[in-house]
Amino acid sequence: MAYQVVAISKLDPANVAEEVRRAESTAAALREQSGFISFDVMKPDEETVVVTQHWTSQHAFLDGMNGMREAAGQLPPPIVNTRLEFAQVTTGVRAWSGV
């Protein structure tokens, strides 16, 4: 069963582009982690960034995030005003064809 994580972040509009850049950088590091499936970054409005991650399991997610943090070293200071995170186990993963 796959594991999905959704993070919704509210920021000052001046920081949204930087948060998107940071998320894309995180995605590049996560692609190296075992159990990683996909990562999407969306900007639904001028002060919100939504990130979704799909992993093969919750264990793979936790290990992958720890591995990514160890590889990244010192993280930059936070710029997010508020963040909501949701996680769920899914029974299947929908493949994205890009079409």
Prediction pTM value: 0.76
User: What is the average per-residue pLDDT within 68-73?
Assistant: 74
- Which residues, at least 6 apart from 66, have a Cβ–Cβ distance to it below 8 Å? none
- Convert the pLDDT of each residue in 22-69 to its tens digit: 888 888 888 888 999 999 999 999 999 999 999 999 999 999 888 877
Domain boundaries, the chain: 2-90
User: What is the average per-residue pLDDT within 78-91?
Assistant: 73
User: How is residue 1 written in tokens?
Assistant: 């069963």
CATH 3.30.70.100 fits 2-90, yes or no: yes
Is residue 91 scored above 60 in pLDDT? no
**C-alpha closest to that of 73 among 25, 8, 31, 9:** 25
